[in-house]
Amino acid sequence: MYFIKKLNTNMKNIFLIVVCFFFQFITAQPDSLFLKSKKPKYDGPVWDQKNKASFYLSEVAFVNWNSGGSNSISGLLGVESSANYSDKYFTWRNNVLLNYGVNKQEARELRKTDDLFELNSDIGYKPDSISNWFYSAKLNFRTQFANGYKYPDKDTPISRLLAPGYLFFGGGMEYGKNIDKFSFYFSPLTLKATFVLDETLANAGKFGVKPAVYDSAGNIIIPGENIRREVGILINNSYEMEVATNIKVKHQVSLYSDYLNNFGNVDIDWRIDFDFKVNSFVKATLGSHLRYDDDVKTTIPTDVVDVYDEAGAKIQWKQFLGIGFAVDF
């Protein structure tokens, strides 16, 4: 009997120790034991505004260089401004990007290397404060400032302000746990409008608009259209992350396919940029921008002077490497 009482007492003590240890353990580490996610702390509606100006420069000079070469200098000026609103259920993100770059080589005229005006506005609503899914609507507009040329020909512009201009507007669903850093957007219904507000380019049917109709004498019977309208499906993905100390990567890709014209033929716009921070003002950037638009046809020369044949759409690619100054204001 004494042995049984002693055993019961020991079991009670062991049970009490186990209960105390378990209680201490779960109170010390609640996040690792329970799968319920914490509700994010809500501090009220927030407006976040950022502005950044940058200037990148590259230069090469030769003096009595026996291997030869041409002196050249290139500059790229960029301005980016964003204004973002967020509260418990809504987000509204707005962004404006302006870029203009030129290059000057010895014994050659000044040439444009970059030209962009882009406006983005996204609004999203989520049904509860924990969800990372948003009912979202997106607007994107982009064009250029100055005339574009197929160098060395500087007499015939191949693009102008609002020729082309692109407008995307649609609605869908967007996922973003930290939506400013990572976003995946799917829209089953997006309007795409292509503007060609230049009579010469519109009559030639550039950028996918309907060209002019001519009579046998070469006179215009029906002028070319200035707007091409499409309705299709749009997928966007973007993320921004620090891959190493003072090295950031920013990735954006957009895939669009028109329901009515060649559905399944996908237009691609893919950008990836690496930013290398030297100090608070100096940084280097390595960037790549790839595009494919089935409406933008290329041409090849024929045996007849000033007569070209259409060669279809091709992949467009631009690469940039520069070092310069960036200032937040």
Residue by residue, DSSP assigns 113-146 as EEEEEEEEEEEEE-SSSS--EEEEEEEEEEE-SS
243 and 122 in a common domain = yes
Residue 250 near residue 288 (C-beta atoms within 8 A): no
142 and 88 in a common domain = yes
58 and 24 in a common domain = no
State residue 28's pLDDT score.
44
- The type of residue at 83 is A
- The type of residue at 132 is N
- The type of residue at 190 is T
59 and 14 in a common domain = no
**What whole-number distance in Å separates Cα of residue 295 and Cα of residue 322?**
31
200 domain residue, yes or no: no
Residue 201 near residue 228 (C-beta atoms within 8 A): no
Number of domains in the chain: 2
212 domain residue, yes or no: no
18 and 77 in a common domain = no
175 and 64 in a common domain = yes
**What whole-number distance in Å separates Cα of residue 268 and Cα of residue 266?**
6
**What whole-number distance in Å separates Cα of residue 208 and Cα of residue 165?**
12
State residue 295's pLDDT score.
86
Question: Tell me: the pLDDT tens digits for 239-291?
Answer: 999 999 999 999 999 999 999 888 989 999 999 999 999 998 999 999 999 99
State residue 26's pLDDT score.
39
Smallest Cα–Cα separation from 143: which of 111, 110, 119, 113? 119
Q: How many CA atoms lie within 13 A of 69 on its CB side?
A: 12
| pLDDT per residue rounded down to tens, the chain (329 residues) | 443 444 344 444 444 444 444 344 334 444 433 444 455 566 668 899 999 999 999 888 988 888 788 899 999 999 999 999 999 899 999 999 999 999 999 888 999 999 999 999 999 999 988 889 999 999 999 999 999 999 988 999 999 999 999 999 999 999 988 888 899 999 999 999 999 999 999 999 999 999 999 999 989 999 999 999 999 999 999 999 999 999 999 999 999 999 988 898 999 999 999 999 999 899 999 999 999 998 888 877 777 766 677 778 899 999 999 999 999 98
Q: Which H or E run includes 270?
A: strand 267-277
Residue 289 near residue 270 (C-beta atoms within 8 A): yes
DSSP letter at 206 equals G
- The CATH number covering residue 239 comes to 2.40.230
75 and 19 in a common domain = no
State residue 269's pLDDT score.
97
CA dihedral over 226, 112, 289, 83, signed as positive or negative: negative
Residue by residue, DSSP assigns 11-52 as HHHHHHHHHHHHHHHHHH-HHHH--PPPPPPP---EEEEEEE
State residue 68's pLDDT score.
81
State residue 261's pLDDT score.
87
Q: Which H or E run includes 162?
A: none
18 and 148 in a common domain = no
The whole domain housing 9 covers 1-33
211 domain residue, yes or no: no
Helix, strand, coil distribution of the chain in percent, nearest 5: 10, 55, 30
**What whole-number distance in Å separates Cα of residue 80 and Cα of residue 56?**
14
68 domain residue, yes or no: yes
52 and 18 in a common domain = no
